[in-house]
Amino acid sequence: MALRNIAIIAHVDHGKTTLVDELLKQSGAFRENQRVAERAMDSNELEQERGITILAKATSVEWKGTRINIVDTPGHADFGGEVERILSMVDGAVLLVDAAEGPMPQTKFVVGKALKVGLKPIVAINKIDRPDGRHDEVLDEIFDLFANLDANEEQLDFPVLYGSGRDGWMAAEPDGPKEDLSPLFDLVLKHVPEPTTEAGPFRMIGTILEANPFLGRIITGRIASGTLKPNQPVKVLHHDGKLLETGRISKILGFRGLERQPIDSAEAGDIVAIAGLSEGTVADTFCDPSVSEPLEAQPIDPPTVTMSFIVNDSPLAGTEGDKVTSRVIRDRLFKEAEGNVALKIEEAEDKDSFYVSGRGELQLAVLIETMRREGFELAVSRPRVVMHNDEAGNLMEPIEEVVIDVDEEYAGTVVQKMSERKGDMIELRPSGGGRQRLVFHAPTRGLIGYQSELLTDTRGTAIMNRLFHEYAPHRGPIGGRVQGVLISNDNGEAAAYALFNLEDRGPMVIEAGEKVYQGMIIGIHTRDNDLEVNVLKGKKLTNMRASGKDEAVKLTPPIRMTLERALSWIQDDELVEVTPKNIRLRKLYLDSHERKRFEKSAKAG
């Protein structure tokens, strides 16, 4: 059967996964009466909650006697490690762009990677039915983007389709005909080349890794040369040529719609999943025993943000989760790093903490949230930026390109806040509907924690997108949080009466009846210093009846910290305690005397 391998690439929320749903339906991949979940490709619990694709996934459809393997890629640059590997598996790409928003920073990131490996994208302008759509301008912007990314003449001569993935139609003209997705299928067959294969024995590079309770480790990849059959002997070569293991393939799984089915043989050019090996991982070469040279893997961009994952040592440790020791945390982190090549894990000297480096706060927050749901308890530090020195010895830091779409009335506030964070404004232009698009180059350090502040400043109307731009000379100190915190001075349960009396000191982050301990952060101080307070003190009871004695205490609802907000809000001497049931804020040193000693040594140092 003829083959085509394509990736669907787009910015977050431009409709990739919804389009794949429709492609599967219209190609007959589902039975007439089969119930299918919306966004069927987003199978992960966190993906469904957040409405974003985190893990790359493969599926396949049949159209006019040709099998089309489709890979749904993440749109977020934090999960760029997935994108870089996936593009080496495919021969073409469908670039999906929103008819109103146009090409966004993450679009630029993925398209740049696709053009670099020589793909010739098909452009599909999606959501053409939006009332604020501006498809002609968007098409010009896409052309400019391709030109800026050094596309060659063939890549610049891209075919264009217009349509609505949600309504299941694509057409060569913006006004239709609004029938089905057959123009997209036909264009894929016509425009995307058949897989190029080399002669020789079996070779395949691993691109997606997952664990299966029945089959063990499953590796997905595209066969570069040769054929593969079950029970065939293979060996695994590391990308530096070192032999990792030898073994036999127990099962070959082909993608048929959303299902993976065992197949009897696979040929060069096909995307398959294999089981039976215990060591091989992503970017390794799986090959015939006669092969001595590994295939070349796509280089992965370096991590830009690091965090400390620390064994939870608070007085409440072990009361809510069942995975609390350094050994189980270590095993889980190293297992994650095997399948996620954009993560880097280092063990600290004390063996009770680990340095986890990744692409951005979102990638690390997703890892923490996943571990939390698995029953882990741990404490995590504020994200820190990975810096390095250049050849001349200058300190270099990561700079990001930040695109903020905001209503005109708030543009001045955004410009002021970004300049305080050492951001340089590169561009300001209208983006339709009375909104401005502001583009900045700003250090990653200054952007940590800015998302929630931006939403507050703009009444929740601004949209911010970030993308790693380059390493540049260090831009000097950036001001941090201006408020101090309220810290509990004892262990016990927070009393409503005590919280009510502390409301003048600042807003709370806990509710009455919550367990607290010495050193735990219970509120935000209105001033810039930290203050130790007693939250356990109940109302003194007497046998005298006084006026107003029986009035109920009315508390202001507390500020609820989400994981991302907590990570970006804390300072360097604070931690976020993460358990399956709670997210708590605490000081690094719980004892007040230790805190004072640490502050003195920090000032002296």
122-126 and 160-164: which strand pairing? parallel
The answer to whether residue 115 is domain-embedded is yes
Alpha carbon 424 to its chain's center: 25
Let me know whether 185 and 98 are in one domain: yes
Q: Which of 153, 149, 178 is nearest to 163 (CA)?
A: 178
pLDDT confidence of residue 300: 64
Task: Check which CATH number belongs to the domain holding 587 and give it.
Answer: 2.40.50.250
Q: For residue range 528-557, what is the model confidence (pLDDT) as tens digits?
A: 888 999 998 877 766 665 545 545 678 888
The answer to whether residue 357 is domain-embedded is no
Task: Check which CATH number belongs to the domain holding 279 and give it.
Answer: 2.40.30.10
Q: Is 126 annotated as a binding residue?
A: yes
Using the predicted structure, report yes or no on whether residue 334 has a pLDDT greater than 50. yes
The answer to whether residue 502 is domain-embedded is yes
Let me know whether 38 and 65 are in one domain: yes
Can you tell me whether residue 284 is helix, strand or coil? coil
Q: For residue range 554-570, what is the model confidence (pLDDT) as tens digits?
A: 888 898 888 888 888 88
Give residue for tokens 């991302």: 564
The answer to whether residue 324 is domain-embedded is no
Q: For residue range 211-229, what is the model confidence (pLDDT) as tens digits?
A: 777 887 888 888 888 898 9
pLDDT confidence of residue 520: 94
The rounded distance, in Å, linking the Cα atoms of 387 and 303 is 10
Using the predicted structure, report yes or no on whether residue 358 has a pLDDT greater than 90. no
Q: Is 405 annotated as a binding residue?
A: no
The model's confidence at residue 258, banded by pLDDT at 50, 70 and 90, is low
Q: Which of 95, 86, 19, 11 is nearest to 56 (CA)?
A: 86
The answer to whether residue 347 is domain-embedded is no
The rounded distance, in Å, linking the Cα atoms of 198 and 163 is 37
- Which one-letter amino acid corresponds to residue 455? L
515-516 and 344-347: which strand pairing? unpaired
Render 143-210 in DSSP notation, one character per residue.
HHHHHHTT--HHHHS--EEEEETTTTEEESBTTB--S-SHHHHHHHHHHSPPPP-BSSS-EEEEEEEE
Let me know whether 417 and 513 are in one domain: no
Using the predicted structure, report yes or no on whether residue 517 has a pLDDT greater than 90. yes
pLDDT confidence of residue 160: 93
Let me know whether 118 and 171 are in one domain: yes
CA 482 to each of CA 204, 413, 479, 571: distance values in angstroms, whole numbers, following the listed order: 54, 18, 8, 10
Let me know whether 174 and 132 are in one domain: yes
CA 281 to each of CA 236, 244, 285, 291: distance values in angstroms, whole numbers, following the listed order: 9, 10, 9, 18
The answer to whether residue 376 is domain-embedded is no
Angle at 295 between CA 294 and CA 301, to 5 degrees: 110
**b/e map 339-359, b = 16+ CB within 10 Å:** bbbbbebeeeeeebbbbbbbb
The answer to whether residue 237 is domain-embedded is yes
Using the predicted structure, report yes or no on whether residue 322 has a pLDDT greater than 80. yes
The rounded distance, in Å, linking the Cα atoms of 65 and 68 is 10
Q: What is the mean pLDDT of residues 59-82?
A: 71
Q: Is 150 annotated as a binding residue?
A: no
Let me know whether 67 and 140 are in one domain: yes
The model's confidence at residue 507, banded by pLDDT at 50, 70 and 90, is very high
Q: Give the end of a domain, one of 451, 473, 495.
A: 473
CA 106 to each of CA 125, 463, 465: distance values in angstroms, whole numbers, following the listed order: 16, 13, 8
Let me know whether 58 and 160 are in one domain: yes
Mean pLDDT of the chain: 82
Q: Give the end of a domain, one of 441, 473, 505.
A: 473
153 burial (CB, 10 Å; 0-12 / 13-18 / 19+) is: exposed
Q: Which of 334, 457, 479 is nearest to 407 (CA)?
A: 457
Let me know whether 463 and 512 are in one domain: no
pLDDT confidence of residue 545: 57
Q: Is 600 annotated as a binding residue?
A: no
Q: Give the end of a domain, one of 145, 161, 191.
A: 191
The answer to whether residue 467 is domain-embedded is yes
Task: Return the sign of the alpha-carbon dihedral for residues 109, 113, 116, 122.
Answer: negative
Let me know whether 269 and 153 are in one domain: no
Q: Which of 218, 226, 194 is nearest to 6 (CA)?
A: 194
Q: What is the mean pLDDT of residues 451-460?
A: 82
The model's confidence at residue 54, banded by pLDDT at 50, 70 and 90, is very low
Task: Check which CATH number belongs to the domain holding 137 and give it.
Answer: 3.40.50.300
218 torsion bin: left (phi>0), alpha (psi -120 to 50), beta (else): beta
Let me know whether 110 and 247 are in one domain: no
285-287 and 243-248: which strand pairing? unpaired
Q: For residue range 96-111, what is the model confidence (pLDDT) as tens digits?
A: 888 888 887 667 777 8
Let me know whether 525 and 463 are in one domain: no
- As given in the structure block, the two tokens for residue 98 are 């929103």
Give residue for tokens 């020791």: 325
The rounded distance, in Å, linking the Cα atoms of 372 and 147 is 44
Q: Is 129 annotated as a binding residue?
A: yes
Task: Check which CATH number belongs to the domain holding 408 and give it.
Answer: 3.30.70.240
Q: Is the pTM here over 0.85, yes or no?
A: no
Q: How many domains does the chain have?
A: 4
Angle at 36 between CA 31 and CA 41, to 5 degrees: 115
pLDDT confidence of residue 150: 85
The rounded distance, in Å, linking the Cα atoms of 440 and 426 is 5
Name the β-bridge partners of 392.
none
Range of the domain at 265: 203-287
Using the predicted structure, report yes or no on whether residue 13 has a pLDDT greater than 80. no
Q: Under 8 Å CB-to-CB from 603, ≥6 apart: which residues? A: none
Let me know whether 58 and 186 are in one domain: yes
Give residue for tokens 């089309």: 68
Using the predicted structure, report yes or no on whether residue 247 has a pLDDT greater than 50. yes
Q: For residue range 390-410, what is the model confidence (pLDDT) as tens digits?
A: 888 888 888 888 888 888 889
Q: Is 128 annotated as a binding residue?
A: yes
In the chain, pLDDT over 90 holds for what percent of residues?
18
